[in-house]
């Protein structure tokens, strides 16, 4: 079976690719510079090639994402547009291209990697949170529309995960320590389980939702954040 994974070159996307390979999928990665998810033309052409050369896509994981931080009133037009283009429009472009091909086959599963920030306010993350909220809502609506075709669509919402995106926020080990302990001055609780997630933790959740063990699960949002959002 073919699994298409966006953002496969690193971080969560790379961990998902490894896990799905272990599960028996033939994984096709989609990432820069080969394909830009913000371009619907590039996405359509890439999915066409994959299906022509490798075979039908049975699973899609939307893991591509970028993070541009800053106070909402100070965000540039460029940062806002770039964040929405990758994290929201990218999910739309790839999901639409794959879903169109899954419908006639009446089979398939889609998982979007969003964020717990999509429903928990975070300082300096307005663009990222908004983009992930849009991706979450889109994926659930897509799941409702595709249910009659036997296609499942779910969301995995990680919290702080040990990737370059997280460690780039602070210097040295401060990124991990601050994530675990929290930041009261920023109204941010810590992580009750006492550690940040590893990319493999998120990959395990993605793999479950793509598997037959989740055959009756669709339109769900599975949080993987060690309790950081307090179950909300």
Catalytic residue among 46, 92, 128, 138: 128
Contacts of residue 229, defined as CB under 8 A and 6 or more positions apart, other chains included, come to: 116, 119, 120, 159, 223
User: Six-digit token pair at 226?
Assistant: 């060690």
Residue 98's CB is within 10 A of a number of other CB atoms, namely: 24
- Burial letters 136-163, b for 16+ CB under 10 A, else e: bebbbebbeebeeeebbbbbbbbbbbbb
128 is catalytic: yes
Contact (Cβ atoms closer than 8 angstroms) between residue 139 and residue 95 = yes
C-alpha to C-alpha distance for 178 and 172, rounded to whole angstroms: 11
Token pair for 169: 């926020």
H runs (alpha helix) in the chain? 11-22, 40-53, 77-84, 90-105, 126-146, 164-167, 174-181, 199-210
Residue positions annotated with a catalytic role: 128
């Amino acid at each position: 079976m073919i699994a298409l994974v966006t953002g496969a070159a690193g971080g969560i996307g790379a961990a998902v690719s490894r896990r799905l390979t272990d599960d028996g999928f033939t994984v096709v990665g989609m990432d820069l510079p080969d394909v830009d998810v913000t371009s619907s033309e590039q996405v359509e052409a890439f999915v066409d090639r994959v299906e022509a050369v490798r075979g039908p896509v049975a699973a899609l994981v939307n893991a591509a994402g970028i993070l541009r931080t800053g106070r909402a009133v100070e965000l540039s037009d460029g940062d806002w547009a770039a964040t929405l283009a990758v994290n929201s429009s990218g999910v739309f472009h790839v999901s639409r291209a794959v879903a169109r091909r899954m419908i006639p086959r009446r089979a398939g599963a889609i998982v979007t990697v969003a964020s717990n920030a999509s429903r928990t306010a975070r300082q300096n993350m307005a663009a990222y949170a908004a983009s992930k909220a849009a991706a979450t809502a889109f994926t659930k609506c897509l799941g409702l529309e595709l249910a009659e075709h036997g296609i499942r669509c779910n969301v995995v919402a990680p919290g702080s995960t040990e990737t370059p995106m997280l460690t780039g926020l602070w210097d040295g080990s401060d990124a991990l320590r601050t994530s675990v302990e929290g930041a009261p001055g920023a109204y941010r609780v810590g992580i009750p389980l006492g550690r940040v997630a590893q990319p493999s933790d998120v990959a395990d959740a993605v793999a479950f939702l793509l598997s037959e063990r989740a055959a009756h699960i669709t339109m769900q949002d599975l949080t993987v954040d060690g309790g950081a959002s307090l179950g909300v």
